[in-house]
Amino acid sequence: MESPLVIVDLDRAPVREARVHDRDRVVIGVAAEPRDAVDGYDVLLTGVPDAPYPWVWCADPHATARELGHIVESRPAAAVALVQVLRMGSGISVPDRLVLESLAYSTLQGGTDFRSWLAAAPRRTHRPAETPVRLGRDGSRLAITLDRPWVRNAFDAATRDALCEALQVAVADPSITRVDLYGNGPAFCSGGDLAEFGTSRDPARAHLVRVQRSPAALLHRCAPRVTAHLHGACVGAGIELAAFAGRVVAAPDTVIRLPEIGMGLIPGAGGTASIPARVGRERATYLALSGAELNAGEGLRWGLVDEISDIDDDVTADPQEAVRS
């Protein structure tokens, strides 16, 4: 079987164009300094600090390329599916991107890599909330708060459904001119609730549910009115959904990460649509493949965050205060 990876040293080889057989491979380019005319690469690595888009700076780009190569070799199905979804997504609408992402995600849920990860993962007890999402309305402003602080607002099915109901209010009511999205407790959202991972034994039905009950699709519809207020862990769904917001404000302690490839999956909460729209396809690929953490400052430089602030200028950090103000 052909290797799922191509690493090109752009300092030694001419810039290559995309090839037909690259459809089934992850293509990484490495150069000491950024250069132009680099279409056809999934990730571009350089040793120049503050490298311009689409390049990613790293202290040792060749070592980073090898590390990414090990990840691709260990999770080939997820890595190749990721780049295929991101490449195709650049030419279709956001709603269609979400369907494409879900199809790939469901396929990978039935794969060997995810099942192996699931079998090795420690068993967790689901700790639901009676009201996983709280709403507060003050005139034209709607505050939506994820409220399972004891699990850092891990995203379970009940939270998904409740968030959909909350966002449907915003979509249906044009008198709501501002929507503020918060997470209660030490983190905005720590990602998918691992206590529920793998509980669905029917990936095909899971795809239908994911498309029909999609907070991502609803956020996209009301995005210009939404401000996401990030703090602490913003992992997986926690950043994938927030990135749809028209404005993203991050506290200095914000940490962003996409861990799904390590599980044998790809981002499945809308991240293959929302994150490339903010940082570009190549940097989105790097984040997902590497699982690397971005702090608030790095998120701001890349455009994943619009502002760093402990308390927004005109909305307090306490959602209950926000709806009373």
**Pairing state between β 178-183 and 141-146:** parallel
Instruction: For 201-253, write each residue's pLDDT tens digit.
Output: 899 999 999 999 999 999 999 999 999 999 999 999 999 999 999 999 999 99
Q: Among 7-16, 25-34, 295-304, which is the least confidently predicted range?
A: 7-16
Q: Determine if the pTM surpasses 0.85.
A: yes
Q: Taking residues 38-43, what's their average pLDDT?
A: 90
- At residue 2, the pLDDT reads 80
Instruction: For 253-277, write each residue's pLDDT tens digit.
Output: 999 999 999 999 999 999 999 999 9
- At residue 198, the pLDDT reads 73
Handedness of CA 277, 278, 279, 284 (dihedral sign): negative
pLDDT tier at 197 (50, 70, 90 boundaries)?
confident
The domain locations on the chain are 5-74, 93-324
pLDDT tier at 23 (50, 70, 90 boundaries)?
confident
- Nearest alpha-carbon partner for 7 in 23, 35, 30: 30
Longest distance between any two alpha carbons in the chain, whole Å: 62
The answer to whether residues 104 and 85 touch, using CB atoms and an 8 Å cutoff, is yes
Class assignment of domain 93-324? alpha beta
Instruction: For 64-119, write each residue's pLDDT tens digit.
Output: 999 999 999 999 999 999 999 999 999 999 999 999 999 999 999 999 999 999 99
**Pairing state between β 294-295 and 255-257:** antiparallel
Q: Is the pLDDT of residue 151 over 80?
A: yes
- At residue 21, the pLDDT reads 63
| Residues with Cβ within 8 Å of residue 247, at least 6 apart in sequence | 226, 227, 228, 306, 307
CA-to-CA separations, 152 to 67, 141, 231, in angstroms, rounded: 30, 25, 11
Return the percentage of the chain with pLDDT > 70, whole number.
93
- At residue 309, the pLDDT reads 95
For 180, the token pair is 């503020």
Instruction: For 163-196, write each residue's pLDDT tens digit.
Output: 999 999 999 999 999 999 999 999 999 999 999 8
Instruction: Give the number of other Cβ atoms within 10 Å of residue 239's Cβ.
Output: 33
Cα(266)–Cα(109) distance, integer angstroms: 10
Cα(236)–Cα(229) distance, integer angstroms: 16
- At residue 317, the pLDDT reads 41
- Nearest alpha-carbon partner for 170 in 224, 114, 213: 224
For 307, the token pair is 């502002």
Mean pLDDT rounded to a whole number for the chain: 92
Which string of b and e fits 261-277 if b means at least 16 CB within 10 Å?
bbbbbbbbbbbbbbbbb
